Structure 1
Amino acid sequence: MAEEKQFAIQKIYVKDVSFETPNSPDIFREKWEPGVEFNLSSSATPLAEENLFEVVLTVTVTVKLGDKTAYLVEVAQAGIFAIQGFAQEEMGPLLGIYCPNVLFPYAREVVSDLSLKGGFMPMVLPPVNFEAIYAQKMQQEAQQQAASKPN
Structure 2
Amino acid sequence: MAEATNNAATNEQAAPQFQIQRVYTKDISFETPNSPTIFQKEWKPEVKLDLDTRSSKLADDTFEVVISITVTTKVGEDVAFLCEVQQAGIFTISNLPEPQLAHALGAGCPNILFPYAREAVASLVNRGTFPPLNLAPVNFDALFAQYLQKRQQEAAAEGAQADA
Partner letter of residue 17 of structure 1?
I
Determine the structure 1 residue equivalent to 2:134. Answer: 124
State the Cα distance separating 1:121 from its structure 2 match.
Answer: 1.9
Q: How many equivalent pairs are there?
A: 150
Other-structure match for 1:30: 41
> Structure 1 stretches of 5 or more lacking a match?
none
SS of the residue corresponding to residue 9 of structure 1 reads: strand
Question: 2:156 matched to 1:146?
Answer: yes
Of 17-26 and 106-115, deviating more is 17-26
- 1:90-133 deviation line (CA, Å, top 9, x unaligned): 01111111100000000001000101111212311001111111
What TM-score, normalized to structure 2?
0.87
Aligned position for 2:84: 74
Distance (Å, rounded) in 1 between the aligned partners of 2:157 and 2:15? 39
Aligned match of 2:68 = 58
Identical-residue share of aligned pairs (%) = 47
Aligned to 1:8: 19
Q: 2:52 aligns with which of 31, 37, 41?
A: 41
Q: Which has the larger radius of gyration?
A: 2
Identify the structure with the greater helix proportion: 2
| Partner Cα distance (1:99, 1:51) in 2 | 14
Distance 1:67 1:145 in 2: 41
